[in-house]
Amino acid sequence: KQEVTQIPAALSVPEGENLVLNCSFTDSAIYNLQWFRQDPGKGLTSLLLIQSSQREQTSGRLNASLDKSSGRSTLYIAASQPGDSATYLCAVKGNTGFQKLVFGTGTRLLVSP
């Protein structure tokens, strides 16, 4: 059974810092991994999708890497801004052919001005 863990559970940084969020998963037989952000009481916004054959994806100030063999992914946020404050979730999709995502518990990020 796939289990996804995110560390740290919460993170507070001053504006401008570069930061790394970690995601680990127990079963390396994944199809893809997706990073989301969630603002309080809202739905999920997709940030980056990494296919199992890829090592990293970039979008603006965000960079996500994937090491399938070690069961790890990291989300790097450059030059953090107060607007980045949200909960960040990673989710993995297995190789079963179904669309089920298994989510981590998230990292709550607070960026202070």
Partner 1 sequence: KAGVTQTPRYLIKTRGQQVTLSCSPISGHRSVSWYQQTPGQGLQFLFEYFSETQRNKGNFPGRFSGRQFSNSRSEMNVSTLELGDSALYLCASSPGQGGEQYFGPGTRLTVT
Binding residues for partner 1, rule: CB under 8 A, are 31-32, 34, 36, 41-46, 49, 89, 91, 93, 96-106
What whole-number distance in Å separates Cα of residue 85 and Cα of residue 20? 14
DSSP for 29-41 reads -EEEEEEEEE-TT
3-state DSSP assignment of residue 83:
helix
**Nearer to partner 1 by C-beta: 69 or 99?**
99
**Nearer to partner 1 by C-beta: 45 or 81?**
45
3-state DSSP assignment of residue 84:
helix
C-beta of 49: minimal distance to partner 1 in Å? 5
Residue whose structure tokens are 């990293």:
56
C-beta of 111: minimal distance to partner 1 in Å? 23
C-beta of 44: minimal distance to partner 1 in Å? 4
Q: Are 14 and 112 in contact (CB under 8 A)?
A: yes
C-beta of 98: minimal distance to partner 1 in Å? 4
**Nearer to partner 1 by C-beta: 40 or 113?**
40
